[in-house]
Amino acid sequence: MDKVKFTQMKDGDREDYEFLTAHEVAYTEKTAERLLTAMKDLDASLSGYQITRLGHSVQAATRAWRDGADEDWVVAALLHDIGDIYAPYNHDEYAATILRPFVREQCAWVVEKHGDFQMLYYGHHVGGDRNKRDRHRDSQYFDDCAEFCERWDQSSFDPAYADLPLEFFRPMVERVFARKPYDPAVIRAGERVALTDAVVAADRAG
Ligand SMILES: [Fe+2]
Ligand SMILES: [Fe+2]
């Protein structure tokens, strides 16, 4: 069997669906690989800044890693703008949707809302509301998103910064997307982990 027998889903039988499930498992194992390829497409997106969107993403992840952030944070920083390719008007939600099954709830929330928080830095220059983030004041993750944007997002447009290469982050992306989706031990609902760890950061600085 190399294809299902049905042309309408309602006509499929157990054999068809067992065959598809096996295919799906093999396909999902390559998610990390596809995401890293998509990251490279970010190199061609959105011109005008001093660095490309890929450069910005890698720089955000590099800063996170050098701050001693854990793997959820580093991968979230790397992928936070991946939505720019296909969802320019809700790129934050798009990226959060990709991350949500595989990272802490805290990190998915921060990625989902980072667009509103970033307005603080430029909203007033474009006739927007720079305090748009205030609608999220009640969230337990408000301060985390504010810190994410201040430390890693708004700061990462510097062509002179010494970025680590995208390949450096490959094993982290592979590990995160190899996790069991929606595992409560990964999601850790309601838990906050600091973005920075001075001991780890000192260790990584060598
Ligand atoms: Fe963004
Ligand atoms: Fe960004």
CA 82–ligand 2 middle distance (angstroms): 9
Do the domain assignments include residue 21?
yes
In this predicted structure, what is the pLDDT of residue 73? 98
In this predicted structure, what is the pLDDT of residue 175? 97
Residues that place a CB less than 5 A from ion ligand 1: 81
> Which ligand does the CA of 95 lie closest to?
1
CA 4–ligand 2 middle distance (angstroms): 42
CA 71–ligand 2 middle distance (angstroms): 18
pLDDT digits (tens, 9 = 90+) for 82-128: 999 899 999 999 999 999 999 999 999 999 999 999 999 999 999 99
Nearest in space to 61 (alpha carbons), one of 93, 87, 31, 35: 35
Q: Are 55 and 163 in contact (CB under 8 A)?
A: yes
The CB density around residue 114, as the number of other CB atoms within 10 Å, is 26
Do the domain assignments include residue 132?
yes
Do the domain assignments include residue 89?
yes
CA 22–ligand 2 middle distance (angstroms): 36
Domain extent for 195: 9-204
Six-digit token pair at 180?
């069991």
Do the domain assignments include residue 3?
no
How many domains is the chain built from? 1
pLDDT digits (tens, 9 = 90+) for 123-173: 999 999 999 999 999 999 999 999 999 999 999 999 999 999 999 999 999
Q: Give the list of residues 6+ apart from residue 160 with CB closer than 8 angstroms, or none.
A: none
CA 181–ligand 1 middle distance (angstroms): 24
Do the domain assignments include residue 96?
yes
Vertex 130 angle, CA 148 and 190, to 5°: 40
Six-digit token pair at 167?
């390949």
Q: Helices 31-41 and 53-66 meet at what angle, rounded to 10?
A: 120
> Which ligand does the CA of 94 lie closest to?
1
CA 153–ligand 1 middle distance (angstroms): 7
Do the domain assignments include residue 38?
yes
DSSP 183: -
Do the domain assignments include residue 13?
yes
Do the domain assignments include residue 1?
no
Alpha helices for the chain (secondary structure H): 14-28, 31-41, 53-66, 71-79, 91-99, 105-122, 142-148, 166-177, 184-187, 198-204
CATH for 55: 1.10.3210.10
